[in-house]
Structure 1
Amino acid sequence: MNLQQTYSNLIKQEAKRLGFESCGISKASFLEEEASNLESWLKSGYQGEMSYLENYFDKRLDPRLLVDNAKSVISLSFNYFPEHVQNKNSYKIAKYAYGEDYHHVLKSKLKELSFFIQNEIGEVNGRAFVDSAPVMERAWAQKSGLGWRGKNSLLIQKNKGSFFFLAELIVDVALEYDNSFETNHCGTCTKCIDACPTEAILSNNTVDGSKCISYFTIELKEELPSIMKGKFEDWMFGCDICQDVCPWNRFSKQHTEKQFLPQSNLLQMEKQEWEEITESVFKKVFKKSAVKRTKFLGLQRNISFLSK
């Protein structure tokens, strides 16, 4: 076994110890195929008001512009599928936001992995990314052999489904690289396309982000468009519809991360309680949650749109 293989094996073992579901490694290079896809997606206006997606075009496609002398992209997945969900008489929150904000939880674990790499390999420079920088995480996850991109654009893993977060470490050391995941196992299934109430999932394996319920309830800061009235199916923060109907998610297993356990009383709250929620209750229930991103007034706006 050569040194690169040894280092890669050690990194994957430590990633598993830290709770990551999967770990794959690919060579840091320009994402040529993604370049035309991203340009076309942006030109179609599918980003809506998410103008930040238009920034750093070159950096999104080339990790070597994010980390000097980058050699490897370490892609990781972390399960967040919960044991219990909200009661049926409730406005809904995407499952990823039940517990503490994943940005902080995973960033902490990535720091531990970085320290481990420093200790085992020596002077290694790199950066950790958790859905907060211009990194095309699903493309890198696929190149690293973690899974394929479904028709809903999410990464799907065989026998694991899609209820997981993605994260990356981009480092300036050469490692053993995994083979890209080339087989798409969605076949002729169109359940996610058929189930999307706002028709955000297009037939050409593209998602119109400007029509997604998650976009409306989280990203859009303006008034919600009246044309979407009655189409949100009680989702007040994010949406899991395309994942809930995906046949591959029958393999989802409950996570074991204590920090992702639901906030106090979250699962028991009913519609009337949400409609009457005060800012102090909001701060208590979502103290460390990603739901804080929409702020109290944003959640109020969403609930009002659903209830009236």
Structure 2
Amino acid sequence: MQKEKHLSNIIKSKAKDLGFLECAILPVQELADEKEHFQKWLNKEMHGKMAYMARNLEKRLNPELLYENAKTIIVVLQNYYPKATQKDETAPVLSKYAYGTDYHFVMKDKLETLLSFIQNEIAPCNGRPFVDSAPVLERAWAKRAGLGWVGKNSNLISVTHGSFFFIGELMLDIELPYDESKLVRDHCGNCTRCVDACPTKAIVSNQVVDARKCISYQTIELRGDLDEKLKGQFKNRIFGCDICQDVCPWNLKSKPHDEPNFLPKSKLLELTRDEWHNIDKPLFKDIFKNSAVKRTGFKGLKRNLRFIQPETDG
């Protein structure tokens, strides 16, 4: 037993060395408890035009169908809370998670490194990292790991770290010493700050977000025209939205990250309101090279900028 715990500590220590906030090791199991909640969300078409959310439902609920012979899932958290934010308070607002290099690349590289470490130092195995790029119910796994609870805004919230973090997973085909199941109770209580602050009223009930009303969905996921019914409600957001997290009392505990890849170019934080609205393709490519903002692309960003620009601006 002591030897098994030692192996677990070695893996977690390596994860911390790689810059992860937290690391938990769990056995792969079916997430049967999540099915009803997720299916209801889909049935109400709250996923909007994200058709991929409705595909591979069984794989989302059962990782063994996603990764053959999966026995272990390692769940990690990665802080992205920045030391500094945009200087011009009147400028269009970019979500904090998009300040630096695309987190998909950064976290996947770290998880690949962790996999190699386990293969070389712990036991021969096969594994696959997942970073918000496959049908994995990441918040459900993080919750099961005791890394936090799911708040009213549907984000995972940690008593220690708040919610400004990414969640990643590493699936392995070997068994490892597992952490004891230790669900964290819901600490939101009667607080409704996130619900009240959401300008588009996208948080329609406890832990349920209607993506069609969500600024993040509108500015990132949606292709084509934005919903005209939401005109004037974006609070200057042009890529993602942190409003429900910014008002959350638990994020008073958020501490700035020390991940070099997430540091923004100084020009990004210095862009004025006018510079944002007049951004051209060369400047876009310079500032957002390897950025998550490339997901919406230059045309998508210009669409978002036009949407928030008052008609009196011409």
Q: Would the TM-score normalized by the shorter structure come out above 0.5?
A: yes
Deviation at 1:239, TM superposition (A): 0.2
Task: Determine the C-alpha separation between the residues in 2 that align with 1:159 and 1:301.
Answer: 38
Residue correspondences, number: 308
Deviating more after overlay: 210-219 vs 196-205: 196-205
Deviation at 1:89, TM superposition (A): 2.0
Aligned to 1:141: 142
Aligned to 1:289: 291
Q: Does 1:198 align with 2:204?
A: no
Any stretches of 5+ residues in structure 2 without a counterpart?
Answer: none
Deviation at 1:241, TM superposition (A): 0.1
The residue identity in structure 2 corresponding to 1:76 is: V
Aligned to 2:251: 249
Deviation at 1:125, TM superposition (A): 1.3
Deviation at 1:176, TM superposition (A): 2.5
1:206-262 CA-partner distances (Å, limit 9, x unpaired): 111111000000011111121111100000000000000000000000000111001
Partner SS, residue 74 of structure 1? strand
Superposition TM-score, scaled by structure 2 size: 0.96
Task: Determine the C-alpha separation between the residues in 1 that align with 2:69 and 2:226.
Answer: 44
Partner SS, residue 35 of structure 1? helix
Q: Does 1:22 align with 2:22?
A: yes
Equivalence map 1:153-172=2 (5 Å): 153-172=154-173
1:33-69 CA-partner distances (Å, limit 9, x unpaired): 1111111110010100101101111111111112222
Deviating more after overlay: 236-245 vs 198-207: 198-207
**Is the Cα contact below 8 Å between 1:5 and 1:175 reproduced in 2?**
no
**Is the Cα contact below 8 Å between 1:237 and 1:291 reproduced in 2?**
yes
Pick one of 235, 239, 242 that aligns with 1:240: 242
Percent identity between matched residues is 52
Aligned to 1:44: 44
Superposition TM-score, scaled by structure 1 size: 0.98
Task: Determine the C-alpha separation between the residues in 2 that align with 1:253 and 1:115.
Answer: 29
Q: CA distance change for structure 1 residues 180 and 44 in 2, over 3 Å: closer, same or farther?
A: farther
Task: Determine the C-alpha separation between the residues in 2 that align with 1:276 and 1:40.
Answer: 42
Partner SS, residue 219 of structure 2? helix
Partner SS, residue 232 of structure 1? coil
Task: Determine the C-alpha separation between the residues in 2 that align with 1:3 and 1:174.
Answer: 14
Equivalence map 1:105-144=2 (5 Å): 105-144=106-145
> How large is the RMSD of aligned CA atoms in angstroms?
1.1
Task: Determine the C-alpha separation between the residues in 2 that align with 1:68 and 1:20.
Answer: 26
Q: Does 1:101 align with 2:102?
A: yes
Equivalence map 1:266-305=2 (5 Å): 266-305=268-307
1:177-229 CA-partner distances (Å, limit 9, x unpaired): 22232411111100000000111112232111111000000011111121111
Task: Determine the C-alpha separation between the residues in 2 that align with 1:64 and 1:112.
Answer: 23
Deviation at 1:71, TM superposition (A): 1.4
Deviation at 1:172, TM superposition (A): 1.6
The residue identity in structure 1 corresponding to 2:133 is: S
Equivalence map 1:35-74=2 (5 Å): 35-74=35-74
Task: Determine the C-alpha separation between the residues in 1 that align with 2:7 and 2:120.
Answer: 11
Task: Determine the C-alpha separation between the residues in 1 that align with 2:186 and 2:291.
Answer: 33
Deviation at 1:2, TM superposition (A): 4.3
Partner SS, residue 268 of structure 2? coil
Deviation at 1:3, TM superposition (A): 4.3
Q: CA distance change for structure 1 residues 3 and 171 in 2, over 3 Å: closer, same or farther?
A: farther
Deviating more after overlay: 196-205 vs 274-283: 196-205
Q: Does 1:210 align with 2:212?
A: yes
Q: Which runs of 4+ in 1 moved over 4 A?
A: none
Partner SS, residue 75 of structure 2? strand
